[in-house]
A and B are shown apart, each in its own frame.
Chain A
């Protein structure tokens, strides 16, 4: 069965969705990603959806859910490279992905993750 690969890069996990996301694949990704965050102790997740050209309400909600789950597992999540058509569709569907950070491209997304992590570490240092 088709699976979305999850790559580890240091403290971050990289998910690039290169195929049309079917409901089953999305559900598998949800399981895989949460499992990988737990096993690797990743602090950040970057989801690249620049190849995604079509979304429906289910996939839209899945993206929001995956981001939400990662956050609960203490990993910052950033969704990058959303296509204009996808953004318009999600807005029309009323899914504004509240609480999910977005960035224009993987580079900017990585910058955000690093900055967020540095801030966290800095914050901890001050506390201790």
Chain B
């Protein structure tokens, strides 16, 4: 095995340029070398780095056990490559192909060097194929991880995007809700709104549900809870943007909204809020309707 290892390592060392050239040709025949998303030069650099890291690791470490510390730089490199592939919008197949297409050039070299010794050639080829498979799996795992990170980040962003608390007037906060209300979202909405009430000392909060497509018993329950929490804090709450269909659904469902002030539009709610806090709005003279 020690002889075999030196052979792969020495091939990687002495024939780096040819290997890269063959690799590029191989990738091109697979149809993903000349991609506009990644330049020829960048691809070339990545290939050289891969071979360099493979050579270093093969010299110092075991060819089979990829989890050892000698492979740490390689693992990092694969992570970075996968991450950039995700960012550039490559498919998982194309990312895996990047590694797999290195097999052929390497095997061709091995056959040239060890053609006269079939036994060593077989052993060496098996070791190399095992190793490259591991590399590809590592790259896949990083690829998937990066994708999942993107999804999680987008979910969080959506959650934040959908709960903006705006100041409508001195002491009046508005919360335009958009999208379906589930338990997780209601929790976030409730927390942000209550936090803002504490920060601003606003006495009236208006929850506008114009953008909420449907109201079922659960959504109504969530709304009632939010209203109750706001009351406990010592502020008041108005629900606005109740569409006719929603009003019908609420009554049909038998949800009790008697204690809650509801208004058809946000404008009505704001007018009521101003009136309650003692403001009057006047049209300046000279203007007519």
* A residues adjacent to B (C-beta < 8 A): 79-84, 86-88, 90-92, 96-97, 102-105, 108-109
Contacts and interface: CB of A to CB of B under 8 A. Distances in A.
Given A82-B234, A96-B231, A104-B233, A88 B201 contact: no
Nearest to A107: B201
A108 B195 contact: no
B195 to A, nearest CB: 6
28 contacts: A80-B234, A83-B198, A84-B190, A84-B197, A84-B229, A87-B229, A87-B230, A88-B190, A88-B191, A88-B194, A88-B229, A90-B229, A90-B232, A91-B228, A91-B232, A96-B231, A97-B232, A102-B232, A102-B234, A103-B234, A104-B197, A104-B201, A104-B233, A104-B234, A105-B201, A105-B234, A108-B203, A108-B234
A79 B234 CA distance: 8
A92 B225 CA distance: 8
B133 to A, nearest CB: 51
B235 interface: yes
Nearest to B225: A91
Contacts of B233: 82, 84, 87, 102, 104
Contact of B235 (A88, A96, A104): A104
Nearest to A78: B234
A44 B127 CA distance: 85
Contacts of A82: 232-234
Nearest to A83: B198
B187 to A, nearest CB: 8
Contacts of A86: 232
Contacts of A105: 201, 234
Given A84-B194, A84-B195, A91 B229 contact: yes
Contact of A84 (B191, B201, B228, B231): B191
Contacts, number: 54
Contacts of A79: 234
Interface size class for chain B? 10 to 19
Nearest to B202: A104
B271 to A, nearest CB: 22
Contacts of B201: 104-105
Among A79, A80, A81, A87, max chain B CB count under 10 A is at A87
Among B190, B203, B230, B234, max chain A CB count under 10 A is at B234
Interface string B172-211: 0000000000000001001100110110010100000000
A87 B198 CA distance: 12
A102 B229 contact: no
Contacts of A80: 234
A87 B194 contact: yes
Contacts of B229: 84, 87-88, 90-91
A102 B191 contact: no
Given A87-B232, A88-B187, 5 more contacts: A84-B195, A86-B232, A88-B191, A102-B234, A104-B233
Contacts of A91: 225, 228-229, 232
Among B190, B191, B194, B228, max chain A CB count under 10 A is at B228
A11 B203 CA distance: 26
A59 B7 CA distance: 76
